[in-house]
Amino acid sequence: MASAGTNNNLHAGHAAGTGAEGADPAAEFRLVPLHRLAGTSVGFEQSGAAVSINVEASMLPNQPGAAAAWPVAFGTMALAGRLSVMEDTVSLHPSFCVWAHGEPMHFLAVFDGHGGPNVAALCREQMHAILAEELAIAAEQYLAHRDEDGAEERAWRAALSRSFARVDALAPAACACGRVGWCACPLSSRPRSPIVGSTAVVALLVRDRVIVANCGDSRAVLCRGARAVPLSMDHKPDRPDERARIEAVGGQVVFLDGPRVGGILAMSRAIGHEILKPEVICEPEIMITIRSDDDDFLILASDGLWDVILNKMACDVAMECKKYGSPTSFRVVGSGQADHNIDYGTLVRQQLEPRCYEAATLLGRLALNRQSSDNISVVVIDLKVRV
């Protein structure tokens, strides 16, 4: 969640729903071809307002052919939108760990903070590191039982569940910078809300599998051919199974500006929110999908996008950007400054994927143009790159 103005953070990397219907995005935005932009600025026209993003020529890759060596391609953007505070974070870690037989695993995630940035920042800083530890343990357990049916999937599910629980246990001590415990950073002096937490939608890519773990109302959508396939289900308090679970532990769903747990939180699962437990839990729902030759993109985004953009429209926008975008790689930096809400790891800084970036950027701008009232964070992953 998150200025009356637009606080824009736009990035691309090459490291290898429910919403409102509306006008054609092509009629609402005009994109300058990316291959003409080195050393200039990217221009968008949105409802008569111009927004410019600097493209630094010094950030261009030294070897034009280098991008082909990267195993996963993606682009991302994050903006505060109409809110004065940016509480979304994004975490991108290609090859963050190695699975049981030496296969690289890629980590990409969106976290939407509520009641402050503390827990979303904690997830950005800690989730991938904790998950790497848990996957190492899970790999050993899997190898000991690999002859059993479903052993590998059980290992992945267990590692993800334990990781979400470990991050949740750290949430009460998280600073707004993401550190745990005592912190002397400038953010530590900010008052902390008694109700602070975050959604988490995490995607892992390994071999021919897409593993999505979701907790909250951020969402993952697979663009498969001409279809939009949801890989997560929003955890809304009025979802029948979630409402039954909440009421079974003595809680209630109150309709105040929509369904809310105890009249407070508009989602039934999240990391943090200590005072709303046990009604609000951190257990993720996990979906494991076999990749198909028809798969084009995976889109991860906070509800600032999904509140106003349908799943199918998001996939259509991504496909249009793939069709008409430029394959040239370069780095895009908003206002010449790094975005501290996006954690790239160490490798992603070296190469960029402009078509995924174009798609993420256009989706974010389109959501803003459709009056999204929340922070908007989007990650677009190109699944035509085989890992």
Query: Rounded to the nearest 5 degrees, what angle is found at the Cα of 68, between the Cα atoms of 73 and 70?
Result: 50
Q: In terms of residues, how long is the chain? A: 387
Q: Return the exposure string of 133-149: e unless at least 16 CB atoms fall within 10 Å of the residue's CB, then b.
A: ebbeebbeebeeeeeee
Position 352 scores a pLDDT of: 55
Distances (CA, A) of 197 to 85, 116, 146, 258: 15, 8, 37, 19
Position 84 scores a pLDDT of: 86
Position 239 scores a pLDDT of: 97
Position 375 scores a pLDDT of: 95
- Which segments of the chain have a pLDDT < 50? 2-70, 326-338, 344-351, 387
Position 64 scores a pLDDT of: 34
C-alpha count within 13 angstroms, C-beta hemisphere, residue 174: 34
**How far is residue 210's CA from residue 228's CA, in Å, rounded to a whole number?**
15
Query: Which residues lie closer than 8 Å to 382 by C-beta, 6 or more apart?
Result: 72, 73, 74, 296, 297, 322, 353, 355, 356
Position 26 scores a pLDDT of: 35
Position 340 scores a pLDDT of: 56
Q: What is the pLDDT of residues 335-346, one digit of tens each?
A: 333 455 665 443
Domains annotated for the chain, with CATH where assigned, are 8-235+270-382 (3.60.40.10)
In sequence order, what DSSP letters do the residues of 8-64 get, joined into one string?
EEEEEEE--------S-HHHH--PPPGGG-TTSEEEEEETTEEEEEEB-GGGS-SSG
Q: What is the pLDDT of residues 181-191, one digit of tens each?
A: 666 776 666 66
The DSSP call for residue 65 is G
**How far is residue 63's CA from residue 279's CA, in Å, rounded to a whole number?**
53
The DSSP call for residue 167 is H
Cα 77 to chain center, whole Å? Answer: 10
